[in-house]
């Protein structure tokens, strides 16, 4: 009796499928960003009116920073997908994208600074988990998430300070 032949390995690194996957990762972060944009629509004045720490950045800085971060986040996810497909590390990746999307409407749309802080603390933890998992799968993907982790750390401190100054 002979064993059944093994299923052919899926090659995620070559061919048109990989570019469609990159487009899907870019679409996922675009949806995350779009939820944020909808959550901050018309809130520049609200941010300007908040009591903020002296180290708070100007509102115009957030757009360019997040644009760069979202591109890095998409590429990191795509690199991991190429190596192992949609498995555990990418579930953590997806979960942190959801929490990322939820933060902006909580903070700006609802003005719930304490709830937004709770969200960003869990987001931070998931970004750490995702970064570590990505480093284990593909070091370059993990390194691409380090600026994101740094920015979320900064954003959490800013969120906490604004929450404390505006209660």
DSSP state letters, 34-45: HHHHHHHTT-HH
pLDDT at 46: 77
Is 70 part of any domain?
yes
| Predicted confidence (pLDDT) per residue in 128-139, tens digit | 999 999 999 999
Q: Is 133 exposed, middle or buried (0-12, 13-18, 19+ CB in 10 A)?
A: buried
Is 43 part of any domain?
no
**Is the confidence at residue 140, as pLDDT, over 80?**
yes
Is 16 part of any domain?
no
Is 131 part of any domain?
yes
Count of structural domains within the chain? 1
* Containing structural domain, residue 129: 61-167
Q: Residue 128: helix, strand or coil by DSSP?
A: helix
Is 48 part of any domain?
no
**Is the confidence at residue 163, as pLDDT, over 80?**
yes
Is 158 part of any domain?
yes
Is 36 part of any domain?
no
**Is the confidence at residue 11, as pLDDT, over 80?**
no
Is 96 part of any domain?
yes
| Predicted confidence (pLDDT) per residue in 74-118, tens digit | 999 999 999 999 899 999 999 999 999 999 899 988 889 999 999
H-type helices in 2-138, by residue range?
16-40, 44-49, 62-84, 88-104, 113-137
């Amino acid at each position: 009796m002979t064993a059944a032949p093994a299923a052919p390995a899926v090659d995620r690194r070559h061919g048109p499928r990989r570019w469609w996957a990159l487009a899907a990762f870019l679409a996922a972060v675009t949806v995350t960003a779009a939820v944020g944009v909808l959550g901050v629509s018309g809130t520049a004045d609200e941010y300007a009116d908040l009591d903020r720490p002296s180290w708070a950045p100007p509102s115009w800085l957030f757009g360019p920073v997040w644009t760069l971060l979202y591109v890095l986040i998409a590429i990191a996810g795509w690199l991991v997908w190429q190596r192992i497909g949609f498995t555990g590390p990418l579930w953590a990746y997806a979960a942190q994208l959801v929490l990322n999307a939820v933060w902006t409407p909580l903070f700006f749309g609802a003005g719930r600074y304490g709830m937004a802080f709770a969200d960003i603390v869990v987001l931070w933890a998931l970004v750490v988990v995702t970064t570590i998992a990505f480093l284990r799968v593909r070091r370059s993907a993990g390194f691409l998430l380090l600026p994101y982790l740094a920015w979320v750390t900064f954003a959490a401190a800013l969120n906490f300070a604004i929450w404390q100054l505006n209660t």
